[in-house]
Structure 1
């Protein structure tokens, strides 16, 4: 048996965008609900509205949107390539979903929470050990004081290891599903297949279930992700290089203003005498 990677747009939307029971199971496992009463029983899908993308990242984001019977909204995004503006984009998306719940003049008490679950196939918090990042709007000095309404969860998939969060069985099983199955998989671990939800989700990944046209689109998605990652990395390197160059020029300007010999400025900054003269 051959399988496709569940993180691709084709497979992610097939699993979580066509099966309400699976996305409900996934959300219950990954969201930080404090009590059993908060669990999601049933969802219905909402239209997907992506905010305008930058040219470098127009194809590397996959999202699924839904709401439960209480009116709580859930935005699930798979972000293949991390970039610095992603958090602002997530905040914009969730805030837009929140304010659109009511029309002008309606009671604010009608507003229901919006949960933004963001799965990142990249490491964006290298200095932090944890892979699970839960953001709320909290009082700076008293973190137990919370403004309800917006919930943000970011999961750094490359950091996840199965031994983490052992007490949360479904949490671990769903993340193993996302991180352990890809085109190289020939045999899915039995502990994943023993769970009915995961077994159903695994069945959606069987290569034989897709048409040739879908498989070509699947390959194109990964090619696009690879190109976008290269472009973003190149842009970031260029930005860092330009920043360093400007920093060197600023240092040279300050030294020149203080009367340092041009030869000394050149030794310190690496700039030529001619370049320093032009500053």
Structure 2
């Protein structure tokens, strides 16, 4: 998924930069507040949000740490964790549980280990790919229920959006949730202003779109955008190096085993391992030196 394209006017909300200047915009929270309200399907307007610490420290030497993409609290004390996941992550729900349970543990400790009056925790995952192949809905809300579907507890609520399952055409989009998802999926492909959907003029979406318009960027925002592109390119390069190193290590192990067996020719080992003859000969020389 290419989220950065110099030929496109609008930056994708799904990109690191796009997510930061829309969902993570601390100076203008209009988009975030309306988006959160849509994601949790609440009729109550969220009038204020405060960003909170997004890093989870390890509680012990061996315990796991982590970083939320977004963590905030509304005016009533409800807590929100928002995570964006672009690549396939079958265990994503486990990560959401880890994050939400840490927040719950923090709230309980702050309340001197008392459980009454706890605020709600909404753990929201926005995923480009599907993690629930047996579920057709693109928006899912999960709380604790019994086998009859009766509610036991909703203090912690897990919400997932699987963007790949959203297939609604523009003519059928009415709710804020569908407007949000449609915008996330299509804005960076938009070119002709006359063809923009009418709802992109709504204040909350217009505020976000303005942040993503490359033609309206100030020099400072342009620099921040370019720095994000540079950081992402470096991250991709480093990740590719790690992948290549892992592949090379695996090839070395495979070729070494074949050479030690002594049953195949150099050419056969190279062909079976998917490497060059020179690669096999280099490993053979290295083994000979270490004998």
Same fold, judged at TM 0.5 (above): yes
Summarize deviations over 1:133-191 as a string: whole Å, max 9, x none. 2211111x221222121100111111112349957521111111100022x43235132
Summarize deviations over 1:211-264 as a string: whole Å, max 9, x none. 2453242365378579969x99xx9xxxxxxxxxxxxxxxxxxxxxxxxxxxxx
- 1:170 corresponds to: 176
| 2:30–2:207 CA contact under 8 A, matched in 1 | no
Q: Does 1:44 align with 2:50?
A: yes
- 1:277 corresponds to: none
What is the TM-score normalised by the length of structure 1?
0.68
Determine which of 199, 212, 215 is the counterpart of 2:226: 215
| 1:62–1:79 CA contact under 8 A, matched in 2 | no
Question: Relative contact order (alpha carbons < 8 A, sep ≥ 6): 1 or 2 greater?
Answer: 1
| 1:28–1:40 CA contact under 8 A, matched in 2 | yes
**Equivalent residue runs for 1:129-148 within 5 Å:** 129-139=136-146, 141-148=147-154
| 1:11–1:205 CA contact under 8 A, matched in 2 | yes
- CA change 1:164–1:213 in 2 (3 A) is closer
Q: Does 1:20 align with 2:29?
A: yes
Moved more, 213-222 or 38-47: 213-222
- 1:9 corresponds to: 16
| 2:16–2:228 CA contact under 8 A, matched in 1 | no
Q: Does 1:185 align with 2:204?
A: no
Q: Does 1:199 align with 2:210?
A: no
**Equivalent residue runs for 1:64-79 within 5 Å:** 64-79=70-85
Unpaired stretches in structure 1, ≥5 consecutive residues: 53-60, 236-279
CA distance in 2, matches of 1:219, 1:173: 31
Aligned partner of residue 147 in structure 1, secondary structure: strand
| 1:131–1:157 CA contact under 8 A, matched in 2 | yes
Q: CA deviation at 1:110?
A: 3.0
Aligned partner of residue 108 in structure 1, secondary structure: coil
**Equivalent residue runs for 1:83-94 within 5 Å:** 83-94=89-100
Summarize deviations over 1:254-275 as a string: whole Å, max 9, x none. xxxxxxxxxxxxxxxxxxxxxx
- CA change 1:104–1:89 in 2 (3 A) is same
Q: CA deviation at 1:98?
A: 1.6
CA distance in 2, matches of 1:31, 1:164: 22
Aligned partner of residue 130 in structure 1, secondary structure: coil
What is the TM-score normalised by the length of structure 2?
0.66
Q: CA deviation at 1:23?
A: 0.8
CA distance in 2, matches of 1:84, 1:226: 24
CA distance in 2, matches of 1:88, 1:163: 32
